[in-house]
Amino acid sequence: MIDQDLGRTASDVTFRLGFEQILQGICSSKVRGIFSVDASRSARNGREWHTLLEVCAVVGVLLIDQGAVYDPGSSDDRLLLGLKGEFSEMELRVLSERSQAAILQKVRRSELHLTISAGYVKTVDGFLRIDPDQRVQHAIRLIFAKFRELGSIRQTHSWFIDHQKKGSGLALYHIEHLSYHSSMARPLRIELSGALYHVTDRDDRREAIYEEDDDCQSFLETLAGAVERFNWICYAYCLMTNHYHLVIETPDANLSKGMRQLNGVFTQGTNRRHGRTGHLFQGRFKGILVDKDRYLLELTRYVVLNPVRANEQE
């Protein structure tokens, strides 16, 4: 009995020990039949499902579920198994699309609050209200008053740093304390089918990412693999010294899954080539949702001309 994969997704690069054990058992001729509640659940995406069918057909392994016994080497059974796999994958896609549609509906109703700005609290009815704490309100009023007086946020910040008196220091403490707690929750990425993103990421140490031509070639090959696997459309890319730009459209609402593979695989390869360990990119990548009809051309122009502007500044 193999149940290690229960509760573990197969839609990204997550390693699933149970599925690997099934393939190893088939290839070593130790398995002659696979019993499951639903045969198509043995592999939860189309690529793995058809790989399993192909291996079983070559070795002569039967697939058995509650309904029938299937021989992947038979044309009729292979057709039926293929349909079962498509239905299973479609089920997951429908659930994902419904979840994304629910998020989009909350956005349209102005009810999606990923993080709450400092000085506000969320009420039980789902609305945002000014924090009733008088100390927090006093801190916010003081900050805006100093901003109107000094004329810039930099001078306002310097004023609070230079005047660590009881009043101003306390106000600054409350704002920083509230900002820290309001930003503790990790912001949820908005991922939609057919969405267009401007994606950027930087080196963790603000140093050169691509130390030699092989690094650039490795990144482009990894990007091509992610585009193919996750059905992306890459309109433009730009590799700068310590960061990169991508213009990506995601027909299947899977930006985060693809970026995990892109950054993860490239980091592992780079570390092996240069004998390093640890992170290569800093924090989470930035993925800005863009209106395709209005800004695709302008965004593409911005990305591909990035090196030209950098040379002009130098």
pLDDT band at 262 (very low <50, low <70, confident <90, very high): very high
Distance CA 184, CA 177 (A): 11
Give 13's pLDDT tier (boundaries 50, 70, 90).
very low
pLDDT of residue 182: 45
- Tallying the residues shown for the chain, one arrives at 314
Dump strand ranges (E) for 50-179: 62-64, 69-70, 120-122, 128-130
Q: 114-123, 243-252, 254-263, 275-284: lowest mean pLDDT where? A: 114-123
| pLDDT for residue 279 is more than 60 | yes
Per-residue pLDDT reduced to its tens digit, 201-249: 988 777 888 888 889 999 999 999 999 999 999 999 999 888 999 999 9
Least confidently predicted of 54-58, 77-81, 173-177, 287-291? 173-177
Q: Where are the domain boundaries for CATH 3.40.50.1390 in the chain?
A: 17-104
Amino acid identity, position 35: F
CA–CA distance, 210 with 239 (Å, rounded to integer): 9
Q: Are 42 and 22 in contact (CB under 8 A)?
A: yes
Please, is 248 exposed, middle or buried when counting C-beta atoms within 10 Å of its C-beta (0-12, 13-18, 19+)?
buried
Q: Which amino acid is at 79?
A: L
Is the model's pLDDT at 154 over the cut of 50? Answer: yes
Q: For the whole model, what pTM was predicted?
A: 0.46
Question: Sign of dihedral through CA atoms 54, 56, 57, 59?
Answer: positive
Q: What does the alpha-carbon distance between residue 42 and residue 15 come to, in Å, rounded to a whole number?
A: 14
What are 160-196's pLDDT values in tens digits? 777 654 444 444 544 554 444 444 445 567 788 888 9
Q: What is the pLDDT of residue 107?
A: 81
The torsion defined by the Cα of 78, 82, 83 and 84, in degrees rounded to 10, comes to 100
Residues of the chain with CATH 3.30.70.1290: 195-306
Higher pLDDT, 92 or 101: 101
Edge-to-edge strands, sheet with 243-250: 233-239, 243-250, 195-202, 286-290
Q: Which CATH class is domain 17-104?
A: alpha beta
Task: Please enumerate, as own/partner, the contacts of 78-85 that have beta carbons within 8 Å and a separation of 24 or more.
Answer: 78/53, 81/39, 81/40, 81/53, 82/50, 82/53, 84/38, 84/39, 84/40, 85/40, 85/43, 85/46, 85/49, 85/50, 85/53
Which of the four pLDDT bands, split at 50, 70 and 90, describes residue 42?
Answer: low
User: Taking a C-beta distance cutoff of 8 angstroms, is the pair 173, 251 a contact?
Assistant: no
The reported pLDDT for the residue numbered 186 is 55
Quick one: fold of 195-306?
Alpha-Beta Plaits (3.30.70)
* pLDDT band for position 156 (cuts 50, 70, 90): confident
